[in-house]
Amino acid sequence: AAIKKYQFDIQVKNVSRLCHAKPIVTVNGRFPGPTIYVREGDRVLINVTNNAQYNMSIHWHGLKQYRNGWADGPAYITQCPIQTGNSYTYDFNVTGQRGTLWWHAHILWLRATVYGAFVIMPKQGTPFPFPQPHQEVEVLLGEWWHADVEEVVKEGTTMGLPPNMSDAHTINGKPGPLFPCSEKHTFVIEVELGKTYLLRIVNAALNDELFFAIAGHNMTVVEVDAVYAKPFTTQAILIAPGQTTNVLVQANQVPGRYFMASRVFMDVPLSIDNKTASAILQYKGVPNTVLPSIPQLPAPNDTEFALSYVKKLRSLNSQQYPANVPLKIDRNLFYTVGFGKNSCPTCLNGTKLLASLNNISFAMPQIGLLQAHYFNIKGVYRADFPDKPPTPFNYTGVPLTANLGTATGTRVSKIAFNSTVELVLQDTNLLTVESHPFHLHGYNFFVVGTGIGNFDHDKDPKNYNLVDPIERNTVGVPTGGWTAIRFKADNPGVWFLHCHLELHTGWGLKTAFVVEDGPGTDQSVLPPPKDLPPC
C-alpha cells in the first residue's frame, strides 16, 4: 500500500459554455476537477486549500471512511466548512473497495462545478473479474447553468419557486455539438477497431436522473457504485445522481463517428427536453468531416425501460466477491418520502415547498453532527427520528391534504453498533413526479426489493432477493413505489442519508444515522484530526 497525496486549490475561474463566459468555482482551475487514482489499500491525503469566497467542503462519495467520518465531508454533518483562506487535509484509507467512485463539493449547490472521478484500482496483481480493457475512460455526466447557481438555489429554497432548470447537460463538462458555440466543447473518445474500452460513468448532475447510450454500440454493465455486478448487455443505462456505472464497450462497428448521449429520465416530463448532451466515439483514422450517427435513447418517460433495467442489476456474488446480505434483521425502519407546503410570508405564493422523511423536514445544524456526537454536545440534534410514519395512510393513493403538514427539526436515528438494519423507503403520491436517488454515507447497502404502489409488510419481503441483490451506495426510490435496503451497522459515526437531487436535499429530504461505538478498542470513532475546520 502506498500514500497518495493530492493538492486541491479551490479557486474561481472564468469558463465559457453555450456562448457565455461566467466565473465558476473549480479545483485547480479545472472543470470538471482532477481524477483521483488510487489502489485498494492505499492511504490518501488530499489537502484542500480554499482560495474562493465561498465556504467549501468536499465529500468522497461512496468511500466508506471506516471509523473516520472526519474525512467524509458533508458540511455541518461531519465537519464545519473550510473557510476562505483556510486548509484541511482529508486523510483516509481506501480499504475493501475497488472501482469507480467520485468526489464533489458537499455544501449548498457548489457541486454543480466542483466534482471529479475517484478511481480505485484493484490490489496489485488482482485482475478485474471481466476482460482486461484496452483503455479506461472517465465519463462524467453533469449539468450547466447560465445563471449563477447561488441564485438558482435561492429561487428554489427560499423564495418558494421551482428553480430554473439547467440549460444543458454535459459530458466531461462539455455539452457537445448540438448546442450553440459548442463545437469545441465536445468530448471525443478515440477508439481502435476490435478493441474493448472500459467507460467509468458518473452521474454528477444536480437534479436529473439520466439515460446514457452510444449509437450503434451495446454496453456491458460490469460494476455499479464500485461493486462488481453480474455482467449484462444493454443498449442504454439508467443512472441517478450520485451513482456510478462501469461498462465495457467493444469497438466492433463500421469505423465512423458515433454519438454518445445523455438525456433526462422523468416519469412525468415537466417540459420538453432540450438539454441532451452529446459526445463522440470516433474510430481511429476516420476524418472529422464524417457526421456522427444519432444515438437511440429511451423516451424521457420510459418508466418500463427504467424498471426492467434496474431489475437486471445483480451483485457478482462470486467466491472472491461474495454478497453478504444480512438475513436476520435487528431493526426495521420504514420512511415515507413526501412533500409538503409550509407557510412562508416572504414567499411569492405565501407558501414554500418542503420535502420530508416521515413528515420531518431536516433542519441543518450550526455545527457538525459528528462533533456533537463525539464530544457529547447537547442541543444540536435530537435522536428521536421515528422508525415509522406517525400515521400510516394510503401512500400512493389520492393526496390527502392532512398529509401535507410537515414538521422541521434536526432529528436523527441512533443505531446500535453491528446491528442489521432494513430500511424501506416509500414514495408518496404527494406532488412528486420523479424518483428519488437516496444516498447513504459511510456504507454500501443491498437493494433487496423494490416495487410500485404501497409496500406490503407481509407479502413483499417474501419476494426479496437475498441471494445476489445489487450492493451500492445510492438507490432510486421509484415514483409512487418503494425500495428496501439492508446493511450491517459496522461503521460507527454519523452518516448522512439524503436524496441526491440537490433541490430535494435543499427542501429537507435528509436525515442521519448515528451509529454507536462498539465495545472493542478498534470499534469506536477515531479522534478528530488537528486541522479539522473550526465552527
Applying CB under 6 A, the span of 154-162, 323-331, 348-356, 492-500 interacting with ligand C2O comes to: 492-500
Q: In this structure, are strands 413-415 and 510-515 parallel, antiparallel, or unpaired?
A: parallel
Contact 469, 448 (CB under 8 A): yes
Q: By three-state DSSP, how is residue 226 classified?
A: coil
Which residue among 32, 33, 74, 449 contacts ligand C2O (CB under 6 A)? 74
Of 106 and 341, which has the nearer Cβ to ligand C2O? Answer: 106
Query: Interface with ligand C2O includes 496 (CB under 6 A)?
Result: yes
How far apart (Å, rounded) are the C-alpha atoms in residues 71 and 494? 12
Strands 257-265 and 209-214: antiparallel
Which one of the spans 155-163, 172-180, 421-429, 494-502 is the region binding ligand C2O (CB under 6 A)?
Answer: 494-502
Counting contacts by CB under 6 A, is residue 174 touching ligand C2O? no
Nearest approach, Cβ of 115 to ligand C2O (angstroms)?
A: 9
Q: Which is nearer to ligand C2O, 445 or 464 (CB)?
A: 445
**How many residues lie near ligand C2O (CB under 6 A)?**
11
User: Which cell goes with 392?
Assistant: 400510516
- Positions 497 through 516 that interact with ligand C2O (CB under 6 A): 498, 500
Distances (CA, A) of 35 to 16, 39, 57, 202: 21, 13, 17, 12
Task: Candidates 13-21, 134-142, 299-307, 493-501: pick the segment binding ligand C2O (CB under 6 A).
Answer: 493-501
Q: Could you report how far apart the first and last alpha carbons of the chain are, in Å?
A: 34
275 forms part of the interface with ligand C2O (CB under 6 A):
no
Residue 67 is given by DSSP the state T
Toward ligand C2O, which CB reaches closer, 76 or 395?
A: 76
Calpha distance 450→163 (Å, rounded): 30
What is d(CA 108, CA 74) in angstroms, rounded to the nearest whole number? 10
Which residues contact residue 57 at a Cβ distance below 8 angstroms, ignoring those fewer than 6 apart?
73, 74, 75, 79, 81, 82, 105, 106, 107
Residues 435-454 that bind ligand C2O (CB under 6 A): 439, 441
Among residues 27, 46, 50, 61, which is the contact residue for ligand C2O, using CB under 6 A?
61
The residue sitting closest to ligand C2O, measured at its beta carbon, is 61
| Stretch of 188-196, 327-335, 400-408, 495-503 contacting ligand C2O, by CB under 6 A | 495-503
Alpha-helical segments (H) within 31-133: none
x-marked contacts with ligand C2O along 98-137 as a string, rule CB under 6 A = ------x-x-------------------------------
Tell me: does residue 59 bind ligand C2O (CB under 6 A). Answer: yes
Strand-strand pairing, 227-234 and 236-239: unpaired
- CB count, 10 Å around CB of 363? 13
Taking CB under 6 A as the binding criterion, the range among 226-234, 381-389, 442-450, 496-504 that sits at the site for ligand C2O is 496-504
Decide whether 460 or 471 has the Cβ nearer to ligand C2O: 471
Q: Is 242 in the site for ligand C2O (CB under 6 A)?
A: yes
Q: How far is CA 313 from the centre of its chain?
A: 17
Pairing of strands 115-121, 36-39: parallel
- Kindly tell me the burial class for residue 127, based on how many C-beta atoms sit within 10 Å of its own C-beta (0-12, 13-18, 19 or more): exposed
Q: Which is nearer to ligand C2O, 120 or 280 (CB)?
A: 120
The minimum distance between CB 60 and ligand C2O, in angstroms, equals 9
Q: How far is the CB of 297 from ligand C2O (least distance, A)?
A: 24
Binding site for ligand C2O (CB under 6 A): 59, 61, 74, 104, 106, 242, 439, 441, 496, 498, 500
